[in-house]
Homo-oligomer: A and B are copies of this chain.
Amino acid sequence: MEETKIILDEKEMPRQWYNINPDLPKPMDPYLSPQTMKPATPDELNVIFPMDLILQEVSQDRYIDIPDEILEIYSMYRPTPMFRAKRLEKALGTPAKIYYKYEGVSPAGSHKPNTAIAQAYYNKKAGIKRIATETGAGQWGSALAMACNLMGLECTVYMVKSSYDQKPYRHIMMETWGANVIPSPSNQTHAGQQMLAENPGHPGSLGAAISEAVEDAATHEGTNYSLGSVLGHVLMHQTVIGLETKKQFEKINEYPDVMYGCVGGGSSFGGVAFPFVVDKMNGKDLQLVAVEPSSCPTLTKGVYAYDYGDTAKTAPIAKMYTLGHDFVPAPIHAGGLRYHGDSPLVSLLHHEGIIDAISYKQLSVFDAALQFARTESIIPAPESAHAIRAAIDDALKCKETGEEKNIFFLLTGHGYFDLGAYEQYMSGKLEDDEYSERAEEEALAKLPQV
């Protein structure tokens, strides 16, 4: 019997997060306050974030200890397994070896709890009673609902209205963990009221839901805001993925030649790639490739500039690849990748040429998802399937060249709540997404002048 699963003992679970800040090729540009257009001070950020997380954001310590209480909850589902995709390799007839690490084993079904648990912990420690956040497809909202429930915090989730209606199971899941889920735009905030006044049938957007959650946190005593991606501390919490992946490759005496990960805000990709970045900067022959939807091609077609994180311009301004904070991507099913901007850390590394990026259209992504489900049995989330598409294409190239490459991709979560999209695809009803250069141009014209 050949082994296809590479597992770690609980004792091998990382006890520290890896902080890439001290290893960056150049220092990060600071976040700016949307009020002053000057670097945001810790006190300004402290209105919606606990100080521990603000300090992590700017820390120059290469490793940061993971508190025991967080480790104990991580151990419910970590270390996560890495698999060799032998059945997929066989179906493709490739000489390449395909590996993937699966984060869908967490109770919330994705990698998101890695940071949700940490964020809930530090907020609890700071005396916070309630956390407000936004969610699109629902993976982040589910993870934070679960984490808040474990830490004894209240949780309010502003969920993009179109997703709320399309994926009822997601909000029921959050409610099962005790969260209060509000379709956004809502009447609960000024931002929401204004959007509804302009358009009573507003379907919602991630940028709009962020505005509501930030306002909720800023205007309620004892309430903080929590973001599921983009920020540095979020990516740092996700490095448990990459640190485990490194150990798993060491176990089998292998090293990846290329690593693919899907990118929306960039947290899962940063989490898996960052522990490998130093190797690459030290000369290791390794490709790190961010895979995004062609309908929201932030890294492949956006500009590297300061932009707002949300529609209402209340969140901090960040230097990042962006399509413009007003850009509304096509309603593809990979809702978790529909963000106009990207992690400032991933953006910087892309700008410096350390991280590559490619994009795929929706139909080719679902084609890969189905091929994966029918060989490896796990039904992938549409977001994760972007990385699968890239891995399959690379493996098919190896079939032509005969190269015996180690191809890795990160499987961020399962697609149990996305089966409606699978049905559309299988019945030929799913359409390919269109990307509007013009919409991007218009949105980019509205970048803040800094």
The interface of chain A, by Cβ under 8 A from chain B, is 1-5, 7, 9-10, 68, 71-72, 75-76, 83, 87, 105, 107-109, 146, 149-150, 168-169, 172-173, 175-178, 370, 373-374, 377-379, 416-417, 419-420, 422-423, 426
The 15 sampled A-B contact pairs (Cβ below 8 Å) are A1-B72, A4-B72, A4-B76, A5-B10, A76-B83, A107-B377, A109-B416, A149-B374, A168-B419, A169-B420, A173-B379, A175-B423, A176-B373, A176-B374, A176-B419
Q: Does B426 lie within 8 Å of A176, measured CB to CB?
A: yes
Residues of B within 8 A of A423 (CB): 168, 172, 175
Q: Give A416 Cβ to nearest chain B Cβ, in Å.
A: 5
Total copies of the chain? 2
Residues of B within 8 A of A416 (CB): 109, 169, 173, 416-417
What residue of chain B has the Cβ atom nearest to residue A377's Cβ?
B107
A105 to B373, CA, bound (A): 15
Q: Give A275 Cβ to nearest chain B Cβ, in Å.
A: 22
Residues of B within 8 A of A75 (CB): 1, 3-5
A319 to B216, CA, bound (A): 63
Pick the contact of A379 from B71, B107, B178, B374 — CB < 8 Å? B107
Q: Give A3 Cβ to nearest chain B Cβ, in Å.
A: 7
Q: Give A2 Cβ to nearest chain B Cβ, in Å.
A: 7
Q: Does B178 lie within 8 Å of A374, measured CB to CB?
A: yes
Q: Give A223 Cβ to nearest chain B Cβ, in Å.
A: 21
Residues of B within 8 A of A108 (CB): 377
Q: Does A378 lie within 8 Å of B107, measured CB to CB?
A: yes
Q: Does A105 lie within 8 Å of B105, measured CB to CB?
A: yes
Q: Does B10 lie within 8 Å of A7, measured CB to CB?
A: yes
Residues of B within 8 A of A109 (CB): 416
Q: Does A2 lie within 8 Å of B72, measured CB to CB?
A: yes
A150 to B4, CA, bound (A): 15
Residues of B within 8 A of A9 (CB): 7, 9
Q: Give A260 Cβ to nearest chain B Cβ, in Å.
A: 21
Q: Does B87 lie within 8 Å of A150, measured CB to CB?
A: yes
Q: Give A49 Cβ to nearest chain B Cβ, in Å.
A: 25
What residue of chain B has the Cβ atom nearest to residue A68's Cβ?
B1
What residue of chain B has the Cβ atom nearest to residue A107's Cβ?
B377
Residues of B within 8 A of A419 (CB): 168-169, 172-173, 176
A81 to B270, CA, bound (A): 28
Q: Does B377 lie within 8 Å of A150, measured CB to CB?
A: yes
Q: Give A103 Cβ to nearest chain B Cβ, in Å.
A: 13
Residues of B within 8 A of A1 (CB): 68, 71-72, 75
Q: Does A176 lie within 8 Å of B76, measured CB to CB?
A: no
What residue of chain B has the Cβ atom nearest to residue A147's Cβ?
B377
A68 to B377, CA, bound (A): 18
A68 to B4, CA, bound (A): 13
Q: A1-B75, A168-B419 are in contact. List 10 more A-B contacts (CB 8 A).
A: A4-B75, A7-B9, A146-B377, A168-B420, A169-B419, A175-B422, A175-B426, A176-B373, A176-B374, A177-B373
Query: Which 5 interchain pairs have the tightest Cβ spacing?
Result: A172-B419, A107-B377, A169-B419, A172-B423, A1-B68
Residues of B within 8 A of A370 (CB): 176
